[in-house]
Amino acid sequence: MSYRVTFVCTGNICRSPMAEHIFRHHAEQEGLDVEVDSSGTGHWHVGDSADERTVAALRRAGYRSSHRARQFEVAWFDRYDLILALDEGHRTDLLRLAPDEEARRKIRLLREFDPDARELDVADPYYSRDSAFEEVREQIEAAVPGLLDHVRRAAKER
């Protein structure tokens, strides 16, 4: 059975779909048996495509970008092995939704996997300049090697 990872941000149109596509790309390159997707804590953008600036940042870096936004559902705690929040607010929302301690243990901040990260939040680029999307991409990419190592170890322990 595949190891299952999901990324969670606010509306699932900027940060979490970017993380989804970047991590999926690298996991596929590594040949890992991982299912990767994303969602948001809110319902505002359900069914929408990723923000055009997210798509542009992904394409410039050579990643795919097909996406439809969705909202995280409590029932999904049983579905995923690892639930990665893009900032502390998302982590707090997910912890509040978690039905039990087992579910809470699955929730982590993405940037915990970047040993050089000074700040663990991936800043929301939505109301910012276009270059903020490149900064988000760089922050996500910096966490990928540590996340790949974590997934390799965790998948072996299952």
Which residues belong to the active site? 9, 15, 124
Half-sphere exposure of 50 (CA within 13 A, CB side): 25
d(CA 75, CA 90): 17
Residue with token string 């048996």: 33
Angle of helix 52-60 versus helix 131-157 axis, rounded to 10: 70
**Sign (positive/negative) of CA torsion 130, 136, 137, 142?**
positive
Q: How far is CA 36 from CA 96, 115, 129, in A?
A: 23, 22, 28
Residue with token string 């988000």: 136
What are φ and ψ of residue 2, in 5° steps?
-65, 145
